[in-house]
Amino acid sequence: MRRTNSIGIVCLVLTIVTACSKSTAETDTGENKGDSIIVTVPSDPSLAGTIGFFMEGWAKKTFSAPSYTEKTVPASATLTVTVDASTVVTKVSPALFGNNSNLYMSQMVTEQSLLTHLTNLHPGIIRFPGGNLSSVFFWNGLPGNPPADAPATIKDADGNSIDPGYWYGGNTAGWTLSLDNYYSMLQQTGNEGIITVNYGYARYGTSADPVAAAAHLAADWVRYDKGRTRYWEIGNESNGTWQAGYRIDVAANKDGQPEMVTGDLYGRHYKVFADSMRKAAAENGKPIYIGAQLLEHAPAVWATATDQSWNSGVLKQAGSGADYFIVHSYYTPYNTNSNPPEILASAVTVTKAMSDYLASSLSTAGVSTKPVALTEWNIFAVGSQQMVSQVAGMHAVMVLGELMKNKFGMASRWDIANSWENGNDHGLFSQGEAASGETKWAPRPAFYYFYFFQKFLGDRFINTQVSDSTSNISTYASTFSSGEVSVALVNKGTNQQNVKLAFKNFNAGNRFYWYVLTGGDGSTSFSRKVFVNGEGPSGVAGGPANYTAVKAYEASAQQGVTVTLPPLSVVFMVVDKK
């Protein structure tokens, strides 16, 4: 079908109308209770530079009605959410729903229940080898056999000599994850990878040219990869005091590197890595994209000298040559017992602040816009089992919506599995620790929010507006190429809300379908349980075991679309087209 913004040129008439010359304002209606409007197919906007090649793999989505149970809806509502299908904000990047693997979560391919969940969830992208361990990981090594120029001790941030604790891609022990099994897991679950190469080795290596040695090791990984992976990162949080390579033993270094890493140094090293890796990719005949690390917010006044000049240094040296820019965020204040309103508010404020700060950094440096990847994100809230609660799931929904709104290209949440630590556990799945009361690979609440959001998400993001901007309702909407409208409604408050939908440039059809996700036992705070349309876990945590078979609620849309949002709940809805 030809697309146009002009109603006067082409109109898609969904019912009998008297004319095709009305203005958009004249044809909009807030009710859709019988009178139809003229609907035009809006043009897709230009691809945002912050998304770029991460949009590769985008595909049109066709909505198929799920099995359903009829549900009575409220007769009236106190709030109206207007869904504006007249303008497309952006096509939805398929790379926003990723997650992180790590080296201490099993060989994965031996864990059939985990593979099934990952196949059902389809995060799209799964990062490896994960986090800080990237800086001490030798992809082609066997246990106990580091390269000859990898020292037995390295310096920590305080200058103490410590055991680096090297990890190896050839380790096939059951408790770790080998490189080959990572590739196999991706193939079995239908996902693709993003790989973080070892930048720390370029700093602490003791050869005559440690940067060349580390770059060559990374390039050999690209050769071994044989085009299976498109997205690559140079290092992980290399500015951080906690990272191997932040501080080096200058007496052992042979190429005159400074004791502390800087953004300028990392930027110069990035170019060496990228040059070697791109040459290796050319041998495979498959292009790759290589990311450079930036800080996501302005450094505090007490931050290290490294942080203070990180972005300016990286951008000066590598800004024009980087394929994309990498940031990390854990949204809430570190090691703080944040409450639900604080956690949920961070999804909006922090995402916007990241977007603004990156744009400002690039503008100041005179660097053009590049795709942005948030390759680690979660919350730092601790003390009330926030990370394993339904609030973490609500936060995830809002982060995904805000990433779409702010046009991020890629995101991968930290992480698939971690460690219990009395509920201070970022893992999307349990590793079955006895103290958790969960079975191994039991999905945590956030899993269900990801699953049902993606199940009812269209392929184009559109605008919404809540009638009372001071309400506790956040909304995110999309359209399917097949014509339906999708809306996620988040009730951040502790009171029930009845909400009515109004539409611009859309005629509601016969039915609408929805899932309601709530915390367990009527919880209005942190709950380790999640109920989906009333179905929940049999144990102390998690959600319904038969989540793929949970029936949607359904109601007639002929007299309008209204729905009840329980306290601290999320509703995922799709409205039929006429």
The predicted-structure confidence for 151-208, as pLDDT tens digits, reads as follows 999 999 999 999 999 999 999 999 999 999 999 999 999 999 999 999 999 999 999 9
- Do 86 and 219 sit in the same domain of this protein? no
State the pLDDT confidence band at 361, using cuts at 50, 70 and 90. very high
- Do 66 and 145 sit in the same domain of this protein? no
Q: Is residue 24 part of a domain?
A: no
State the pLDDT confidence band at 441, using cuts at 50, 70 and 90. very high
- Do 85 and 214 sit in the same domain of this protein? no
Q: Which of 39, 66, 82, 26 is nearest to 561 (CA)?
A: 82
- pLDDT at 278 > cutoff 70: yes
- pLDDT at 26 > cutoff 70: no
What pLDDT does residue 414 have? Answer: 98
Specify the number of domains making up the chain.
Answer: 2
- pLDDT at 20 > cutoff 60: no
- pLDDT at 24 > cutoff 60: no
Q: Is residue 98 part of a domain?
A: no
Averaged confidence pLDDT in the chain: 94
Q: Is residue 473 part of a domain?
A: yes
Q: What is the dihedral of CA 237, 241, 243, 244, to 10 degrees?
A: 140
Interval 367-420: pLDDT, tens? 999 999 999 999 999 999 999 999 999 999 999 999 999 999 999 999 999 999
Whole-number percent of the chain with pLDDT over 90: 92
- Do 316 and 194 sit in the same domain of this protein? yes
Contact 521, 529 (CB under 8 A): yes
Q: Out of 31-35, 36-40, 353-357, which region has the weakest mean confidence (pLDDT)?
A: 31-35
- pLDDT at 1 > cutoff 80: no
More confident call, 520 vs 76: 76
Count of alpha carbons within 13 angstroms of residue 473, beta-carbon side: 29
Q: Encoding tokens for residue 296?
A: 């996501």
More confident call, 487 vs 524: 487
Q: Find the radius of gyration of the CA atoms of the chain.
A: 25
Q: What is the mean pLDDT of residues 80-88?
A: 98
CA separation for the pair 343, 270 (Å, rounded): 35
What pLDDT does residue 34 have? Answer: 53
Q: Is residue 291 part of a domain?
A: yes
Q: Encoding tokens for residue 520?
A: 């367990």
User: Identity (one letter) of the amino acid at 65?
Assistant: A
- Do 85 and 196 sit in the same domain of this protein? no
Q: Which residue has the tokens 């389809």?
A: 122
The residue among 322, 352, 368 that closes a domain is 322
Q: What is the mean pLDDT of residues 564-578?
A: 97
Q: Which of 296, 308, 391 is nearest to 349 (CA)?
A: 296
Q: Encoding tokens for residue 189?
A: 């679950």
Q: Which of 442, 331, 337 is nearest to 394 (CA)?
A: 331
State the pLDDT confidence band at 27, using cuts at 50, 70 and 90. very low
- Do 79 and 158 sit in the same domain of this protein? no
- pLDDT at 213 > cutoff 70: yes
- Do 174 and 266 sit in the same domain of this protein? yes
Q: Which domain holds residue 66?
A: 60-90+458-577
Interval 280-331: pLDDT, tens? 999 999 999 999 999 999 999 999 999 999 999 999 999 999 999 999 999 9
More confident call, 29 vs 561: 561
User: Identity (one letter) of the amino acid at 458?
Assistant: G
Q: What is the mean pLDDT of residues 21-28?
A: 36
Start-to-end Cα distance in the chain: 18
Contact 566, 516 (CB under 8 A): yes
Q: Encoding tokens for residue 450?
A: 């990801």
- Do 161 and 227 sit in the same domain of this protein? yes
Contact 140, 221 (CB under 8 A): yes
Interval 102-154: pLDDT, tens? 999 999 999 999 999 999 999 999 999 989 999 999 999 999 999 999 999 99
- Do 263 and 172 sit in the same domain of this protein? yes
CA separation for the pair 473, 321 (Å, rounded): 42
Helices (H), 35-167: 112-121
* Domain harbouring 522, CATH code: 2.60.40.1180
What pLDDT does residue 522 have? Answer: 67
What pLDDT does residue 70 have? Answer: 98
Q: Encoding tokens for residue 153?
A: 């001790």
- Do 193 and 307 sit in the same domain of this protein? yes
What pLDDT does residue 524 have? Answer: 82
Q: Is residue 444 part of a domain?
A: no
The residue among 256, 289, 322 that closes a domain is 322
The residue among 271, 289, 322 that closes a domain is 322
- Do 229 and 315 sit in the same domain of this protein? yes
Which pTM does this prediction carry? Answer: 0.94
CA separation for the pair 181, 110 (Å, rounded): 9
Q: Is residue 279 part of a domain?
A: yes
